[in-house]
Amino acid sequence: MIKIVRPLNVVIGFLSAFVVAAVANISISPDIVLSGLAIGFFIGAGNAINDFYDFETDCLNHPKRPLPSGLISKKTALLISWILFGCGFFTVFMMSNFYLPFGIALFAFAVLIAYSRWWKKTVLIGNFAVSALLGLAFVFTGASIGDIAPTLPPAFLAFGLTIIREMVKDLQDYDGDISAKMKTLPIVMGKGFSIRLIHFFSIVFVLISPLPFFLKIYDQFYFGILIFGVIFPLLFLNFSMLKHGEKTDLNFFSGLLKLSIIAGLVAVFFGKTNQGY
């Protein structure tokens, strides 16, 4: 049952709050811990309700997931999502200054529902929505401590990598999405166009992501981890797509990009400096 909330994603979300504490140069406080818990609850809830709405396509694209495999029922998945959403909002209300975090949480809740119910089936809107939510997790923690500025670089890093990964996942889910009459980017514009757009976003990300190092916001540890943990895997993905096109092992690269997101968090955590803010 726990698989439906994607435990690794939940843990990454929880730890993102501690990355914010590091880049903001503050000690771990109850609000940081509560922020991490709230993010984890919302990520788990979002994954559960997404699986609820994706049941038909997952039967083809991801038959081993809890719902298609019969491990749990759709009703149970929906119940889990609402319980976790409730836990998330309750955690927000426990913060010392919850007004702005509550506003962000309410916005995230609305986007998660809209994404799962409608936007995921559209061209790029769903990709941008889920990517923005990942970046917003850092801003949410910044709001809980009253300092949003240090969260912007890691928010961009999360947004950029996630939108590339989401486009890869659209290619990966192509067959099932067609059967469900979805209008994702590769279905509407073609797989070739999707691959070219992945190349474009990858080039932009590779050019912009080192800027915090050159602007002396982060130090050489950030740059080194970024190169080996994020940029090299991205280049590997793009060279593979140039060579193999639609026959690229998309399942492998989807997992690799998730590891790159973790590497990005590690880069920010160990590469932060006292300069730049």
Which pair of structure tokens corresponds to residue 81? 């999502």
Q: How far apart are CA 262 and CA 260, in angstroms?
A: 5
Q: How far apart are CA 63 and CA 88, in angstroms?
A: 29
User: Do the beta carbons of residue 220 and residue 213 sit within 8 Å?
Assistant: yes
Q: Give pLDDT, residue 273.
A: 56
Give residue 56's identity as a one-letter amino acid code. E
Q: Is residue 277 part of a domain?
A: no
Q: Is residue 276 part of a domain?
A: no
Contacting residues for 137 by C-beta, under 8 A, at least 6 apart: 13, 16, 39, 43, 155, 158
Q: Is residue 169 part of a domain?
A: yes
DSSP tag of 211: H
Q: Is residue 130 part of a domain?
A: yes
Which pair of structure tokens corresponds to residue 144? 């809980």
DSSP tag of 182: -
Averaged over 57-73, what is the pLDDT?
Answer: 91
DSSP lists the bridge partners of residue 218 as: 272
pLDDT tens-digit map of 81-103: 999 999 999 999 999 989 999 99
pLDDT tens-digit map of 204-216: 999 999 999 999 9
Q: Which comes out higher in pLDDT, residue 175 or 276?
A: 175
Which pair of structure tokens corresponds to residue 225? 């981890």
CATH code of the domain containing 173: 1.10.600
Q: How far apart are CA 260 and CA 234, in angstroms?
A: 8
Q: Is residue 106 part of a domain?
A: yes
Rounded to 5 degrees, what are φ and ψ at 29? -120, 165
Is the pLDDT at 143 greater than 50, yes or no? yes
Question: How many distinct structural domains can be found in the chain?
Answer: 1
Q: 146-158 burial, b if ≥16 CB within 10 A, otherwise e?
A: ebbebbbbbbbbb
Instruction: Give me the sign of the Cα torsion angle 76, 82, 85, 89.
Output: negative
User: Do the beta carbons of residue 67 and residue 3 sit within 8 Å?
Assistant: no
Q: Is residue 90 part of a domain?
A: yes
Is the pLDDT at 256 greater than 50, yes or no? yes
Q: Return the SS3 of 120.
A: helix
Is the pLDDT at 177 greater than 90, yes or no? no
Count the Cβ atoms, other than its own, within 10 Å of residue 19. Answer: 26
pLDDT tens-digit map of 181-208: 888 999 999 999 999 999 999 999 999 9
CA trace torsion 223, 35, 145, 17 (10° rounding)? -10
Q: Give pLDDT, residue 276.
A: 45
Q: Give pLDDT, residue 115.
A: 94
DSSP tag of 29: -
Is the pLDDT at 67 greater than 80, yes or no? yes
Q: Which domain holds residue 201?
A: 2-271
Whose structure tokens read 């694209």?
61
Count the Cβ atoms, other than its own, within 10 Å of residue 42. Answer: 27
Averaged over 239-257, what is the pLDDT?
Answer: 91
DSSP tag of 210: T
